[in-house]
Structure 1
């Protein structure tokens, strides 16, 4: 009996120590190693989820996905391709294309530079980076809040249809968003004890190199850090200036080498986009567009949760909300607007959505289920169905690489930059598209080639190809154009070889299907 009492007393005395040890271990470990109730680690789940995400996005979004990244990288490594006017005028930094070019060079050295790997390998790397951003967002919230808020923030991040749609694409906006999310993990949010000025400023500097407009997102955050910092001189002299000077210097040297002349792309970017307002050439929207269309579409079903979360979030997160509002306001002042421009602040919005879901208690599981269902449809539709034709058609054209005689000659009679180019063909066959560079000379009567063509397609073709010897072997066009040039096609013996679905929502010059016409060989002589 005495032994039993002694044993019980020892156990009761040791239990608090064990609990303290467990609690200490919980708060000292890296939260990225947290394990979900179902046994999957957050790292493994995030990577697997984004890999699935990558393969279930088989559509096109915007031309910059290819023309400002893959096409430039392909030309750098393989020596042929097309550069848009931004690269001839020196307003783009090579920092991001060089990253993809390194991937291409690795494939080339190993002898695996097939067209499939050139298309998918950069996207797979982006999937891994997107998974890392998801993990770091969870880790940030987990350090500042209890596990419930962190898990629901992570859930909101993964369930966002727009993040699913964009995060594995080779867009500078995607890399800007990833770097911004990683930088936030080291940013001195009030209450955070694991921040690092050098780490987050380095990531911010990289984001600005990739896309100078990243500075818009970070301006209020940098100002807040400066005002809250006790040793301001050290922050500037030991962190900001050295990091800024090093990254800008390295980027400038890289651009000067690759452009073959002295080039400061950041200055050129401001000169063309602010002073010359070149962006307006590609369309303008009313000032309220981000409030009435842009943000509601990007946030999607998360919109109500975001508004609800803004009323619940502690005061220390107001600087993050200020960054979101500031970014939307600044972009609203610019005439040219796109959904992807506000993508970098979407992870910040997910924090507020996480607070909202965590506060719903008994209602949060039904709300989470509804959130998944409402995001699933647009995610799968936009990723697998909408605007996929411009990628599928390149797969058909790639077969022309195996045609020895006659030499293929492809003309794209589509709005300029509708399709990718050599990065999705990977052989130097002759290809041409209707160009649309902006006027940089101040000529008010300037009309680009694409607009000239669509003003009178049949006349343009007859004048351009007055001699049959100049006729291309293949024409690629949207179905909405076929009726206007049908006579030209019949006279010159073009036969439709392929019809490819593109979208259920045709708009103007963009049709629902893409046609590939081939000129018959027996009538291809003068």
Structure 2
């Protein structure tokens, strides 16, 4: 008996699917770029000192050094990527902080839109209709949490599109050898950018093996082994030891447990925070993802494993989940398709995907109202403070200080240097002192960035909010052989 022809897709479905996908990616991408160009705040120091600052040091020859890039707990893949963007920006004449930071943050924002498109591709690879896949992708493209994190130069954002597109290529039914190799290569790149993405690599091989697709499993394993070799080689060339960054990182976090110094949280932390930040999106995504269990059990298992393994770790930050969020959006698309297939063709049937898009869009409208408490950050310090532009005024004053012709040293008294933009914003090859550095009378710096109530003496040359940039009376800077670029 010949196979029955596939059920034709109504023209209305095709048009609506195309419209939803274009609008979700267009609006989501535009919002991400706008946020990249308007917010100078910091969610967590890693977005500066694990990417922007080492990249600034690579390109311009100076920058603060975090302990990870002194002891070698990170590889150089992410800073190299950012350094390439800095170089590109300088090559087109945008060699100041506004230029290279704007380009870099804008590119990271657009990577979020690519991840949303990857969600659509991954849902389609698991048999979802274009309409259901587009609605699912909107849960990443337009929702508040992905929008908030998108412009930040973090490994989670850099690796997310590689993860979702890699799985979309390699897990597609009947994937060609080229697709499997390309998909596994993207996952290998994702691990190079963020070590924890190795969970997805194990998951890919496991799913292929569970399908008894031994050829694809062997090919994926061989490609991942090649990327592991490259990972080790990169560390050997930069740190002097094979897999040095991975070994130091795992020892610090898993063996010594020192990451707990930055806070610990119970297993339920991620669920609680996601409900607080975007509760309706979380419930819709979870419900639809569970409905995808029959058609995409492997993908659901990989995504769940990533979530659970992170929930089991004592130190938690919401950003750690960014690489898996596009996978859950894809699963939601598959689950939505399972529902739509049981509904008769009618205009009312289209209300369901539109409702999913509406949930995502409503969440996106709330993005500007997010507080640190909503994001599970600084919950015991400033939970009601806006999560936007935190220390942004300080960073804008750093830019202003870097443009002053007479600045020969700067002390930042208004904040710990880790919560500033460092030389990436200051962009001046002169000593930058921390709040607990030398006294003003030392003559080692010409300007201070302080609170408006702590001016005492000197000339205020710029101000924003409660912060001021002050030129000290002596005006000059004595040489300081004891100054260190190590981040305190």
What's the secondary structure of 2:152's corresponding residue?
Answer: coil
Cα distance between partner residues in 1 of 2:335 and 2:211: 28
Does residue 375 of structure 2 align to residue 394 of structure 1? no
Cα distance between partner residues in 2 of 1:66 and 1:406: 23
What's the secondary structure of 2:406's corresponding residue?
Answer: coil
Q: Deviations over 1:323-371 (max 9, x none)?
A: 2332222122221110011122111221343356664844554564354
Q: 1:469 matched to which residue of 2?
A: 442
Cα distance between partner residues in 2 of 1:265 and 1:522: 45
Residue in structure 2 matching 1:349, options 299, 316, 328: 328
Q: 2:253 matched to which residue of 1?
A: 273
What's the secondary structure of 1:518's corresponding residue?
Answer: strand
Cα distance between partner residues in 2 of 1:235 and 1:256: 28
Q: 1:228 matched to which residue of 2?
A: 211
Structure number, greater radius of gyration: 1
Deviation, structure 1 residue 36: 4.4
Deviation, structure 1 residue 271: 1.6
Instruction: Tell me, yes or no, if the aligned pair for 2:139 and 2:356 is still in contact at 8 Å.
Output: no
Cα distance between partner residues in 2 of 1:224 and 1:524: 65
Cα separation, partners in 2 of 1:240 and 1:474, compared to 1, 3 Å: same
Instruction: Tell me, yes or no, if the aligned pair for 2:120 and 2:330 is still in contact at 8 Å.
Output: no
What's the secondary structure of 2:433's corresponding residue?
Answer: strand
Q: Deviations over 1:250-289 (max 9, x none)?
A: 3333334444676621122212211122211212222332
Q: Any gaps of 5 or more consecutive residues in structure 1?
A: 1-19, 27-33, 435-452, 454-460, 502-513
Deviation, structure 1 residue 394: 2.1
Cα separation, partners in 2 of 1:312 and 1:391, compared to 1, 3 Å: same
Instruction: Tell me, yes or no, if the aligned pair for 1:118 and 1:424 is still in contact at 8 Å.
Output: no
Q: Any gaps of 5 or more consecutive residues in structure 2?
A: 341-348, 373-384, 479-488
Q: 1:377 matched to which residue of 2?
A: 366
Cα distance between partner residues in 1 of 2:230 and 2:264: 35
Does residue 47 of structure 2 align to residue 68 of structure 1? no
Q: 1:168 matched to which residue of 2?
A: 151
Relative to structure 2, which stretch is displaced further, 90-99 or 424-433? 424-433
Relative to structure 2, which stretch is displaced further, 278-287 or 351-360? 351-360
Bigger relative CO (Cα 8 Å, ≥ 6 apart): 2
Q: 1:335 matched to which residue of 2?
A: 314
Q: Deviations over 1:412-464 (max 9, x none)?
A: 44245111111122221321225xxxxxxxxxxxxxxxxxx6xxxxxxx8xx5
Does residue 149 of structure 2 align to residue 200 of structure 1? no
Instruction: Tell me, yes or no, if the aligned pair for 2:142 and 2:363 is still in contact at 8 Å.
Output: no
Instruction: Tell me, yes or no, if the aligned pair for 1:411 and 1:472 is still in contact at 8 Å.
Output: no
Instruction: Tell me, yes or no, if the aligned pair for 2:14 and 2:131 is still in contact at 8 Å.
Output: no
Cα distance between partner residues in 2 of 1:525 and 1:188: 61
Cα distance between partner residues in 2 of 1:366 and 1:199: 35
Does residue 410 of structure 2 align to residue 409 of structure 1? yes
Cα distance between partner residues in 2 of 1:408 and 1:292: 45
Q: 2:485 matched to which residue of 1?
A: none
What's the secondary structure of 1:213's corresponding residue?
Answer: helix
Q: 1:521 matched to which residue of 2?
A: 473
Instruction: Tell me, yes or no, if the aligned pair for 1:217 and 1:345 is still in contact at 8 Å.
Output: no
Deviation, structure 1 residue 521: 2.0
Q: 2:233 matched to which residue of 1?
A: 253
Cα separation, partners in 2 of 1:400 and 1:350, compared to 1, 3 Å: same
Instruction: Tell me, yes or no, if the aligned pair for 1:468 and 1:525 is still in contact at 8 Å.
Output: no
Q: TM-score, normalised by structure 2?
A: 0.79
Cα separation, partners in 2 of 1:140 and 1:406, compared to 1, 3 Å: closer
Cα separation, partners in 2 of 1:326 and 1:389, compared to 1, 3 Å: closer
Q: Deviations over 1:62-81 (max 9, x none)?
A: 21111111111110111111
Cα separation, partners in 2 of 1:389 and 1:188, compared to 1, 3 Å: closer
Cα distance between partner residues in 1 of 2:169 and 2:53: 34
Q: TM-score, normalised by structure 1?
A: 0.73
Q: Deviations over 1:10-32 (max 9, x none)?
A: xxxxxxxxxx99979x9xxxxxx
Relative to structure 2, which stretch is displaced further, 419-428 or 132-141? 132-141
Instruction: Tell me, yes or no, if the aligned pair for 1:43 and 1:135 is still in contact at 8 Å.
Output: no
CA RMSD in angstroms comes to: 3.7
Cα separation, partners in 2 of 1:252 and 1:193, compared to 1, 3 Å: closer
Aligned residue runs from structure 1 range 276-355, under 5 A: 276-293=256-273, 295-297=274-276, 300-354=279-333
